[in-house]
Structure 1
């Protein structure tokens, strides 16, 4: 009963922890990691990890919860991604800075413009896109995805209202569930609503978790507990849930 971690920041781990993760994937029945990028330096690190391990697949992008890059930096990143298009499985992580905007009111226009560039690029190179977009930001993102007729969109660690959830389901977008499904009611309710054939599982490591994971560094093996909880919520046989989540991820990312 294998799993794939559909969203992890492998380059953000300390070297010792990263080595422990990579060396223990087989014994923990984790077939692959999809490591997303934060910026150009992060893209380059993730590409190195992919070249070193057949179990690592990379997505290239710019995480939105940080200061907007200069035009020169943006163009350098987009150019690098185009040059390495054959070595990535998706554009990501990209999106909008919801949490940063809660701390200080931001001018969203440059963030939306940057996101649109990445969505256009995903369309041009025919690759999936990995999105950081929650609550009202998700509606902005949906509009952009619809504008460019993007079908292969993966909203990681998604939260939103029922109207947005319905829109995303109808558009065929996927979401991935984090280990906080074991103790967060909001995530459990989302699992009840979202179709099993549009779900994946992730850790978003090295982001730490509470509940049974409190005090431990985030390891892809946590996903097995997430799968068990999803099976319980959906009232579907565990082996079947493993199979569906695994095939969803394999099919979406073509790995």
Structure 2
């Protein structure tokens, strides 16, 4: 990649879910790929702890975010309090509280099994993490799609949080307009190449509120099938987004870089 282009930042990756040899190889490749850094999100306390170790091992490249991913069983009260305290003790060393949100896909799976999910319990966990972020004026990284996104917006407004990043977002037109009005960011993954719903969103969401991500190690289809998800795929996302927006790749990279830099600093 020509270094006259702005670098890219992978705004959402689960780096802790790769094994150490893959991480080492990945990190070594970033400079040649003109990728500046990775926003490494966590899923629970053990994930947070490994992410912290990676941030210490690769300072300035790995930018840690700590949270509790909603697509897993609810933590009990003690587990949640332990996590909140752990995050609070490191609040000056994280770039955001995340990944946090609501269990859209877990709820669908429960419905398929004829079971009920404790939706209020998940909202309570999200509220606790949002309150922590609000107390220290930290950005939040959200997993909240479709009807869950409207609930997340309610809570963000309730706690006065304005710096919100909805990763890999999918949602309804009224929620999209609400998010735009509130200045919330979204990010696109490699599926922008082949998912019509995502392409339609990319055409209407304002360029100044957009970032790129991989959500690695989540695998993708199309030209990415059977490939290990790697931050270098952000360049493919950028090129596709540029095409949709009618921008040159150089223009798109500059916008995406400045957006991510301003959100996370």
Both structures adopt the same fold (TM-score exceeding 0.5) = yes
Aligned to 2:106: 100
Aligned to 1:21: 26
Deviation at 1:4?
0.1
Deviation at 1:238?
1.7
Aligned to 2:247: 236
Aligned to 2:205: 194
Deviation at 1:237?
2.0
Give the Cα–Cα distance (whole angstroms) in 2 for the partners of residues 42 and 3 of structure 1.
Answer: 24
Deviation at 1:183?
0.6
Residue 110 (structure 1) aligned with residue 115 (structure 2): no
**Please, what TM-score do these two structures have when normalized by structure 2?**
0.95
8 Å Cα contact 1:60-1:90 kept in structure 2? yes
1:181 match: secondary structure: helix
The partner residue of 2:38 within 9, 33, 39 is 33
Residue 79 (structure 1) aligned with residue 69 (structure 2): no
Deviation at 1:28?
1.1
Give the Cα–Cα distance (whole angstroms) in 1 for the partners of residues 28 and 43 of structure 2.
Answer: 24
RMSD over equivalenced CA pairs, Å: 0.7
Structure 2 residues not aligned, in runs of 5+ = 111-115
Give the Cα–Cα distance (whole angstroms) in 1 for the partners of residues 46 and 13 of structure 2.
Answer: 16
Give the Cα–Cα distance (whole angstroms) in 1 for the partners of residues 75 and 129 of structure 2.
Answer: 13
Aligned to 1:64: 70
Structure 1 residues not aligned, in runs of 5+ = none
Give the Cα–Cα distance (whole angstroms) in 1 for the partners of residues 24 and 222 of structure 2.
Answer: 25
Deviation at 1:87?
1.0
Deviation at 1:52?
1.0
The partner residue of 2:151 within 140, 154, 165 is 140
Task: Report the count of equivalent residues.
Answer: 254
Matches within 5 A, 1:168-207: 168-207=179-218
Deviation at 1:146?
0.5
Matches within 5 A, 1:219-234: 219-234=230-245
2:232 match: secondary structure: helix
Give the Cα–Cα distance (whole angstroms) in 2 for the partners of residues 196 and 17 of structure 1.
Answer: 33
1:220 match: secondary structure: coil
1:18 match: secondary structure: helix
1:176 match: secondary structure: strand
Give the Cα–Cα distance (whole angstroms) in 1 for the partners of residues 22 and 176 of structure 2.
Answer: 35
